[in-house]
């Protein structure tokens, strides 16, 4: 590829933002979701596609209807659920409680292009089932094309302020007692054909045994139905995050998912009035990359297209 493909962004009347590159839809960011309260409505990215147009996200799979492409989803927020569905409770297992909160889009303070990048600067409120605002969030989304890698990068940065007047422990199903269930963070659910794909760390390829590993980044390479083409998603932890290098929630055998999980095994006490800032990159690449290719992407170096996983 020569030259950075132009990015465009448009706000749609259906409550979504559409980001494209030279006519290829890279993602829709649905900021006003219409799902039921039991699914903890929150903004999400879906569909998500490579520069070549291959779909790399899944929306409302029948096994977990609260999985929504890529979404900032926290399952334990001071006893409330901003993930969707039932909650895990020690000694009881999964139970459906009246604790599903929602994230409300309040406004965009910026939505457009800045130089070659797309910028989405959003304000949100986290609402309890009783209608109280517990968290005010600033969410900054930056999109850039990486032409030397046949890829594009989504940077997701959030600053969450506790306005509840009390400490809010942020945790996971693991902090509630379920082993290896630290999902709670920027969660990606991959397409069904990515089941059986390859997870990648700086130490090489792997699978479900990487659950809970600490690493600065984690990649996932999978194959598409129909075309037989391959794609790689690379999730990168920010060195400024309190949890760096994060623990990772990852599955390859049953279905494809990746989540940098800041609250995997230890609760984070978000004090009243405190801000918590976290940031992650998601790089979406055409072709299968190996661990070396992923490391080069993280380092901002050129990557040969189609490096075998």
Q: What is the pLDDT along the chain (309 residues), one digit of tens a residue?
A: 445 558 999 999 999 999 999 999 999 999 999 999 999 999 999 999 999 999 999 999 999 999 999 999 999 999 999 999 999 999 999 999 999 999 999 999 999 999 999 999 999 999 999 999 999 999 999 999 998 899 999 999 999 999 999 999 999 999 999 999 999 999 999 999 999 999 999 999 999 999 999 999 999 999 999 999 999 999 999 999 999 999 999 999 999 999 999 999 999 999 999 999 999 999 999 999 999 999 999 998 888 654 433
Q: What residues contact residue 223 under an 8 Å CB cut-off, 6+ apart?
A: 193, 194, 197, 229, 230, 288
Only one residue has tokens 């409120």, namely 125
> For residue 111, how many other CB atoms are within 10 A of its CB?
18
> For residue 73, how many other CB atoms are within 10 A of its CB?
22
Token pair in block for residue 255: 């279905």
Residue 48 lies in a domain: no
**Rounded Cα–Cα distance for residues 196 and 276 (Å):** 35
Residue 36 lies in a domain: no
* Pair 110, 120: CB distance under 8 Å: yes
Residue 53 lies in a domain: no
Residue 267 lies in a domain: yes
* Pair 176, 89: CB distance under 8 Å: yes
Q: Bridge-partner residues for 18, per DSSP?
A: 10, 28
Residue 49 lies in a domain: no
Residue 127 lies in a domain: yes
Only one residue has tokens 């706000």, namely 11
**Rounded Cα–Cα distance for residues 252 and 282 (Å):** 18
* Residue 219 lies in domain: 72-298
**Rounded Cα–Cα distance for residues 259 and 257 (Å):** 7
- pLDDT (0 to 100) of residue 309: 34
Residue 293 lies in a domain: yes
Residue 59 lies in a domain: no
- End-to-end, the C-alpha distance of the chain in Å comes to 21
**Rounded Cα–Cα distance for residues 46 and 114 (Å):** 23
Q: How many domains does the chain have?
A: 1
- pLDDT (0 to 100) of residue 147: 87
């Amino acid at each position: 590829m020569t030259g950075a493909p132009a990015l465009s962004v448009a706000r749609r009347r259906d409550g979504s933002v559409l980001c494209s590159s030279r006519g290829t839809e890279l993602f829709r960011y649905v900021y006003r979701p219409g799902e039921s309260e039991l699914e903890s409505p929150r903004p999400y990215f879906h569909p998500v596609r490579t520069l070549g147009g291959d779909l790399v996200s899944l929306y409302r799979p029948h096994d977990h209807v609260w999985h929504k492409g890529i979404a900032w989803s926290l399952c334990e927020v001071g006893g409330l659920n901003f993930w969707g569905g039932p909650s895990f409770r020690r000694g009881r297992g999964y139970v459906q409680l009246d604790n599903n909160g929602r994230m409300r889009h309040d406004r965009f303070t910026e939505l457009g292009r800045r130089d070659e990048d797309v910028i989405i600067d959003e304000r949100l409120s986290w609402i309890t089932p009783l209608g109280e605002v517990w968290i005010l969030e600033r969410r900054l989304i930056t999109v850039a094309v990486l032409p030397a890698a046949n890829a594009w990068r989504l940077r997701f940065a959030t600053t969450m302020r506790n306005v509840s007047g009390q400490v809010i422990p942020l945790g996971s199903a693991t902090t509630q007692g379920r082993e290896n269930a630290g999902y709670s963070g920027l969660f990606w659910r991959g397409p069904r054909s990515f089941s059986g794909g390859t997870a990648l760390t700086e130490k090489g390829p792997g699978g479900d045994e990487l659950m809970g590993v600490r690493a600065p980044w984690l990649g996932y390479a999978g194959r598409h139905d129909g075309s037989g083409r391959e794609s790689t998603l690379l999730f990168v932890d920010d060195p400024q995050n309190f949890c760096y290098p994060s623990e990772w929630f990852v599955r390859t055998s049953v279905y494809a998912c990746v989540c940098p999980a800041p609250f995997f095994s230890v609760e984070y006490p978000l004090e009243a009035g405190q801000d918590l800032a976290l940031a992650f990159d998601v790089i979406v690449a055409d072709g299968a990359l190996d661990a070396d290719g992923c490391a080069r992407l993280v380092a901002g170096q050129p990557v040969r297209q189609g490096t075998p996983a």
